[in-house]
Amino acid sequence: MDEPILSVRNLTVHYIKEDSTVRAVNGLSFDLANKETLGLVGETGAGKTTTALSIMRLIPNPPGKIIEGEILFKGEDVLRYNKHRLLRMRGRDISMIFQDPMTSLNPVLKVGDQIAEVIHIHKKLSNKEANIEAMKMLEVVGISSDRFNDYPHQFSGGMKQRVVIAISLACNPKILIADEPTTALDVTIQAQVLEMMGALKKNFDTSMILISHDLGVIAEVCNRVGIMYAGNIVEIGNLEDIYVNGFHPYTKGLFGSIPDLDSDTERLKPIEGLMPDPAHLPPGCPFYPRCPERLPECKTKLPGAVELSPGHLIRCVHAKKN
């Protein structure tokens, strides 16, 4: 197999406050293959956005701190990059689409100038050449180049997100991290943006990490899926592994709480309880208090990852009993 373009190894991130320490990410590990799209799914507070910000080295410090781990981009540890190398990486090697397009754009700058700025910095083009490239990028994402001089407030939410995507892809990055890119959009616009992102990813040969709480969106876009809970991936595999052969009790619970038009079910089966407070995680398996399949050992023992089939890994004591 080819070497992964990105490898996250034992990543641990804490937010340290005066009265508590929030353990946002806890020993997280995963690989991203070249041209692959990996989906990270989980409830609010699972650590998805913190993982993305860690890869970009954008964890606010204080209070955030990367305690340990490695983030290897093409074999180089991003956590060891100096300031100059980080600036070169962001936008050129790895780019990120943030959750809310309304706050991702500078309201007092023309959208064309915001795209051109990224191109000018990373491609070392003149202002005129960067402007021409920016106009081309607007056309690529389905916006007329005539709108180069318009301001963000003159665009709808869906059009703003297209501008954000144009900025993210302007320098043809190797990896695109999309953090819930369609959350603020209505369903029709959401479908258009996802279709466009899929086409652009293919045209630009870009690997992608798509963060979402929507399993339908993940199924439509991704090759592999990681289910996150309390700062770690509890199950990861291809679409069939997760959507058909999901093994972890949390994975089963997620799918059990989604309406299924093909089955005659009177009531959904929601997961009981709430995700644990990351400042006070329980010992052992963090899903233990909510797990319908828990064993006494789950209360004190944190299971390691077990490979049920090639690429299908689960963190659960039941996996060892199979």
Q: Which of 216, 231, 226 is CA-nearest to residue 276?
A: 231
Specify the pLDDT at position 322.
47
Give the strand pairing for 224-229 and 37-41.
parallel
Specify the pLDDT at position 1.
55
How far lies 276's CA from each of 16, 19, 261, in Å?
17, 18, 31
Between CA 197 and CA 247 the distance in angstroms is 30
What are the contacts of 306-312 at 24+ separation with CB within 8 A? 308/247, 309/237, 309/241, 311/224, 311/236, 311/237, 311/238, 311/241, 312/235, 312/236, 312/237, 312/238, 312/241, 312/245, 312/247
Between CA 40 and CA 55 the distance in angstroms is 14
Specify the pLDDT at position 295.
93
Specify the pLDDT at position 263.
66
Q: Which of 133, 113, 112 is CA-nearest to residue 124?
A: 133
Measured from the Cβ of residue 4, the count of other Cβ atoms closer than 10 Å reads: 18
Cis peptide before 181 (omega within 30 of 0): no
Q: What is the dihedral of CA 49, 171, 39, 198, to 10 degrees?
A: 140
Compute the C-alpha angle 129/139/210, nearest 5°: 105
- Collect all residues with Cβ–Cβ distance below 8 Å to 103 and sequence separation of at least 6: none
What is the DSSP code (8-state) at residue 62? Answer: T
Per DSSP, the residues of 78-107 read: GGG--HHHHHHHBTTTEEEE-S-HHHHS-T
Three-state DSSP at 34 gives: coil
Give the strand pairing for 76-77 and 94-97.
unpaired
Task: Print pLDDT tens along the chain (322 aa).
Answer: 578 999 999 999 999 998 899 999 999 999 999 999 999 999 888 999 999 999 999 999 889 999 999 999 999 999 999 999 999 999 899 999 987 777 889 999 999 999 999 999 898 889 999 999 999 999 999 999 999 999 999 998 889 989 999 999 999 899 999 998 887 778 888 888 888 888 888 888 899 999 998 888 899 889 999 999 999 999 999 999 999 999 999 999 998 887 766 666 667 778 888 889 999 998 899 999 999 999 999 999 888 999 999 999 999 999 875 4
* Interior/surface letters 114-124, b for 16+ CB within 10 angstroms, e for the rest: bbbbbbbbbee
How far lies 162's CA from each of 138, 150, 178, in Å?
8, 14, 12
Structure token pair of residue 74: 């093409």
